[in-house]
Amino acid sequence: GSAVLFLVHSAPGKMVENSLLPGRAIYDFVLLLSSQSGFILYLVWAFIPESWLNSLGLTYWPQKHWTVALPLHLLITIVIGYVLLFRINMMSTPSLNSICTITDNYAKNQQPKKYQEVAIPALRVISTSEVNQMLFLAAKDLYTKN
């Protein structure tokens, strides 16, 4: 509900905004109701003793052990997820002596394009040797100042 109001305030000039459609408001309200009732149900499961729930007739609950275990598992999963993601990124970066840093299949298989006088030259991958010569041999003072 509050998210919808914020979007409406931030762009008053737009004609038809996604948040102004009635469909969105209904989804938002359903989500609000379900998340609040889910939270109240979780609190009931965690705090009210077994005997009172059994006397009401509701006997088929999971063990109370899980009221503490599930949030803890979730928290640890999130923390490990951060570490794992970082580690996977580090491992999938090519090392300094891999050929991926110089060329790849696209660059090897590209067709030589015809040079046209007036038009802008077509996009293509220039080899590392040429780039190095242009950057470091030709322009003598460009990089030595730092």
Partner 1 sequence: MEDERSFSDICGGRLALQRRYYSPSCREFCLRCPRLSLRSLTAVTCTVWLAAYGLFTLCENSMILSAAIFITLLGLLGYLHFVKIDQETLLIIDSLGIQMTSSYASGKESTTFIEMGKVKDIVINEAIYMQKVIYYLCILLKDPVEPHGIAQVVPVFQSAKPRLDCLIEVYRSCQEILAHQKATSTSP
CB of 95 to partner 1, least distance (A): 8
CB of 145 to partner 1, least distance (A): 9
Contacts of partner 1 in 45-104 (CB under 8 A): 90, 93-94, 96-99, 101-103
From 9, 65, 108, 114, residue interacting with partner 1 (rule: CB under 8 A): 108
Whether the CB-CB separation of 1 and 28 falls below 8 Å is answered with yes
Question: Using the rule CB under 8 A, is 136 a contact of partner 1?
Answer: yes
Amino acid symbol at 118: V
CB of 78 to partner 1, least distance (A): 22
Of the pair 18, 103, the CB lying nearest partner 1 is at 103
The Cα–Cα gap between 137 and 49 comes to 80
Question: Using the rule CB under 8 A, is 137 a contact of partner 1?
Answer: yes
Spatial CB neighbours of 17, under 8 Å, sequence gap ≥ 6: 7, 8, 11
Question: Using the rule CB under 8 A, is 143 a contact of partner 1?
Answer: yes
Per CB under 8 A, the segment of 7-15, 36-44, 70-78, 132-140 that binds partner 1 is 132-140
Spatial CB neighbours of 32, under 8 Å, sequence gap ≥ 6: 1
Helical packing angle, 22-47 and 2-10, nearest 10°: 150
Residues binding partner 1: what is the number (CB under 8 A)? 20
The Cα–Cα gap between 16 and 8 comes to 11
Element (DSSP H or E) covering residue 83: helix 65-92
Question: What is the contact surface with partner 1 in residues (CB under 8 A)?
Answer: 90, 93-94, 96-99, 101-103, 108, 128-129, 132-133, 136-137, 143-144, 146
